[in-house]
Amino acid sequence: MLTLIRELFCETLPSFLLLTFLWPTEAGNDFRGAKLIEGCKRNDQSCYKSLYDRYAMRLMTIALRYSNNTFEAEDILQESFIRIFRTIHSFGYKGSFEGWLKKIVVHTAINHFHKHKKHFPQAEENAREPDTDCEEVLDRIGADELISAIQSLPDGYRMVFNLYELEGYTHKEIGDILGISEGTSKSQLSKAKSLLRKLLVKFDYTTYELG
């Protein structure tokens, strides 16, 4: 975690580090997982429940970083599982099942963005940044603070940040997905990372002072 935050403050955020943190992985499609998949393909209700219990928390973590709050994330998660159960028969074991699930959540979050948030609001970035030593901040920031900071980003900033830094899309692809120019995508990412650093410092400063 310390390495991840330090990289953010250095203005370079390695995708694999944050992705590893936010998406716990399993080694391949294990036997139990395959049995659950096949059971769901047979419309076995107990397998539906077991599959939900096994992956809901992981997928919720993804939904959270695309959302403003827990309620919005829960809506994305619910819609994602509806799509998962409707299309699980199409999963052919050609890739990671976890990756397949994650892709559905991301696409659901993108659709949610288009449905409810059709513009890119400008962030308020003129607030004075607290005079806090970054090394001290790095020693205190944790996973919950990082997710909270990502959620605090304006909708457009957060969407571009997630798609570029975590999902690995190019700016051209993001432009096509969101209906913006490649240049706008680059600008949104730069502003998102700058604001995220400020939010982390401000969050730590407030917590430290109140604590």
Domain chopping of the chain, boundaries: 29-116, 130-210
Categorize the per-residue pLDDT at 3 as very low, low, confident or very high, splitting at 50, 70 and 90. Answer: very low
DSSP H or E stretch at residue 98: helix 97-116
Contact between residue 4 and residue 165 where contact means Cβ atoms under 8 Å apart: no
Residue 56 has pLDDT above 90, yes or no: yes
Contact between residue 155 and residue 120 where contact means Cβ atoms under 8 Å apart: yes
pLDDT tens per residue, range 110-156:
999 998 865 554 444 433 344 444 445 545 556 677 788 889 999 99
- State whether residue 173 is helix, strand or coil: helix
The correct answer on CATH 1.10.1740.10 for the domain covering 29-116 is: yes
Architecture category of domain 130-210 in CATH: Orthogonal Bundle (1.10)
Positive or negative: CA dihedral 182, 187, 188, 193: positive
Fold match between domain 29-116 and domain 130-210: no
As given in the structure block, the two tokens for residue 158 are 């957060």
pLDDT tens per residue, range 126-139:
333 444 444 455 45
